[in-house]
């Protein structure tokens, strides 16, 4: 799996950046919250599980009025 990146923007400000990539024996989703600059890492056993997590996060951000690209 190649890297998957999604950026959520609201009112011309980045709200979150999600990166999904293969790690050592797992697939990792890195989430960077712009307001705090904090990064969190979530590990999944399979790429489909990680992709599902990203899809659900993107949907939630869209419901909150963000534009996701």
For the chain, what are the domain ranges?
4-68
Neighbours of 27 (CB within 10 A): 21
Fold entry, domain 4-68: q64v53_bacfr protein fold (2.20.140)
The share of the chain scoring above pLDDT 70, in percent, equals 97
The band of 1, judged by pLDDT with boundaries at 50, 70 and 90, is low
Across the chain, what does the average pLDDT equal? 93
Please report, for residues 7, 14, 20, the alpha-carbon distance to residue 47 in angstroms, rounded to integers and kept in the order given: 19, 25, 9
pLDDT of residue 35: 74
């Amino acid at each position: 799996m190649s890297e998957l990146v999604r950026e959520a923007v609201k009112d011309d400000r980045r709200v979150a950046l999600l990166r999904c990539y293969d790690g050592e024996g797992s697939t990792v989703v890195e989430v960077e919250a712009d307001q705090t600059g904090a990064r969190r890492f979530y590990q999944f056993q399979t790429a489909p599980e990680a992709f599902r997590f990203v899809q659900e996060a993107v949907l939630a951000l869209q419901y909150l009025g963000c534009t996701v690209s």
